[in-house]
Amino acid sequence: MQIKNFKKEENSELSRVAASVIWEDNNQPNRDIYFETTNKFKNDLSANPNAFLTGCILPAMYLKEKRIKIEGAISQALYNGLLRNMQLLRRWYGWKYKPVKIEARIAKNDNSKTKQNKKVGLFFSGGIDSLFSLRSNRLNFALNHPYSISDCLIIYGFDIFHDPSAENKTHVFERAVKNASDIANDACINLIPIATNIRHLYSYTKFWTKWFHGAALSSVAHCFSSRIGIMNIASTDSIMNLQPWGSHPRLDKNYSSEGLRIVHDKLASRIEKIKMLADWDIALQKLRVCTQNHDELLNCGKCIKCIKTMVMLLAIGKLRYATAFPRRNITVEELKMAFRHQSQIDFNVNYLSLAELLENEGQHELAMAIRKDAGFKGTLRRLDQQYLGNNLAKLYSLFLKSP
């Protein structure tokens, strides 16, 4: 792979940095990768080679490119971190994935560290994880504290998937930005909207979730390293539920440079996060967990992500106040559907404790459904799904159909 032809362009409203990505060892389409923001932040956006290297190296490794050659000078710290991450991902996902040779000049000085008093940022989707990181930061640090978050980056092209070949979802992103702006005003932060096509470099969903999204987020941060000195990525899992994943405390820190520190933030369980957010009114009104990108609704109230969040809010007596969702009830069948897609450890850490809380709220049928699913059959189903690819279920189905 080659990365070259760095450029910065702007029009009356937007500023964009881009570079050409050329594949050498497979037939993926060559494309210009870009990062774009409004002109309000144009002076903070740069065509930083660190950004493009961070965003391109894992697709190159996954698709077995032999090298990645990049114009411009890169950070020594980032170079070392990328080598560590490639070895870790190889250990997690198989020795067939070989580290890519990085061909680049090493910068003698990292220009991004020369600016004093740089800001602290957070990637912000409006979901549970990023809201929890923002809320806990506000409760722990005064606004003028050096670790206080001042900038939140919201991205078009990740959870709101920017696919030029599919239905345009610009209006969904605009709604998400408007929604996040209300939270930003309440929390006294700058909201920076960004659009990028870095995910399109290789958009296979399992690659995105298990390998790539932490690196993709970090690539965006490097574009703003003249402004931001510490960038927080909100954690997905608690310390009890850590597993190989595209954003992970062992990975994210290695996407740092001398002038930009990437932090994997706040290892807490899902229910711990929701309990903290339950008394923040704006969070209950503006929470956005749904990735169905519904044309009319902030959250559809029917998908797995919605159901999992709603049952936790119901368990602590807060669903009735959560106007971010279009309904206030959950059926047993919906709950069972959500549990079919949980790993065993995730079920134990995040959902088993809900049974008692639901009982206290008078939700006896939902509590019984959780306790029943914690039994042998539910445990076996989750272990089969997680480790055996549902092969036990398939064999059982064939057995039932046999004469």
Residue 387 has pLDDT above 70, yes or no: no
pLDDT band at 156 (very low <50, low <70, confident <90, very high): very high
Determine the pLDDT at residue 241: 83
pLDDT band at 162 (very low <50, low <70, confident <90, very high): low
Residue 81 has pLDDT above 80, yes or no: yes
Tokens representing 291? 């990735």
Residue 77 has pLDDT above 70, yes or no: yes
Non-local (6+) Cβ contacts of 375 within 8 A are none
Determine the pLDDT at residue 373: 81
pLDDT per position as a tens digit, 231-241? 999 999 888 88
Determine the pLDDT at residue 232: 99
> Would you call 374 helix, strand, or coil by DSSP?
coil
pLDDT band at 167 (very low <50, low <70, confident <90, very high): low
Non-local (6+) Cβ contacts of 45 within 8 A are 8, 15, 16, 17, 35, 37, 223, 224
pLDDT per position as a tens digit, 246-280? 999 999 999 999 999 999 998 899 999 999 999 99
Determine which helix (DSSP H) or strand (DSSP E) holds 273, and give its type and residue range: helix 270-277
Task: Calculate what percentage of the chain has a pLDDT beyond 90.
Answer: 78
Task: Calculate what percentage of the chain has a pLDDT beyond 70.
Answer: 90
More confident call, 307 vs 401: 307
Determine the pLDDT at residue 374: 78
What is the gyration radius of the CA atoms in the chain, in angstroms?
A: 22
Query: What is the C-alpha to C-alpha distance for residues 207 and 86, in angstroms, rounded to an integer?
Result: 14
Residue 82 has pLDDT above 60, yes or no: yes
**Between the ranges 29-38, 286-295, 348-357, 372-381, where is the mean pLDDT highest?**
29-38
Q: For the chain, which residues make up each domain, given as ranges? A: 2-265, 296-395
Determine the pLDDT at residue 239: 86
Average pLDDT over residues 203-214: 96
Average pLDDT over residues 116-145: 96
C-alpha distances out from residue 45 to 151, 222, 231, Å:
14, 9, 15
Q: What is the mean pLDDT of the chain?
A: 92
CB atoms within 10 A of CB 219: 25
